[in-house]
Amino acid sequence: DTEVTQTPKHLVMGMTNKKSLKCEQHMGHRAMYWYKQKAKKPPELMFVYSYEKLSINESVPSRFSPECPNSSLLNLHLHALQPEDSALYLCASSQDGQGTGTSQPQHFGDGTRLSIL
């Protein structure tokens, strides 16, 4: 069982829909991450939250909007997505916040598989 929980596991949405992905961890980790992963490829970093503040945005299109309501929760709000946005979206957390040169590994959830019709 993973310690990072992502919901839903699967999501199918049209290009005009609005939906949200949710990620939760109760390990007391101070950094949380969103990644996008295409099949058989490495994860691509999208956003990093450190101590509940957005610290890195990898030039992600505005149709993706992250939110960190508290230290345990991370959301990714989706609106007007394109077919090329279909992918596995992974959430991860690490003990140290970014900016501390962390050697701590990231712990990943099992992802949300997103399909855009």
Residues that bind other proteins (CB under 8 A): 2, 4, 6, 40-43, 45, 48, 55-56, 90, 92, 98-103, 105-111, 113
Shortest separation between residue 87's beta carbon and other proteins, angstroms: 13
User: SS in 3 state form for the chain?
Assistant: CCCEEEECCEEEECCCCEEEEEEEECCCCCEEEEEEECCCCCCEEEEEEECCEEEEECCCCCCEEEEEEECCEEEEEEECCCHHHCEEEEEEEECCCCCCCCCCCCEECCCEEEEEC
Nearer to other proteins, 67 or 110 (CB): 110
Give the residue with the Cβ less far from other proteins, 21 or 90: 90
Smallest gap from residue 85 Cβ to other proteins (A): 19
Q: How far is the CB of 59 from other proteins (least distance, A)?
A: 13
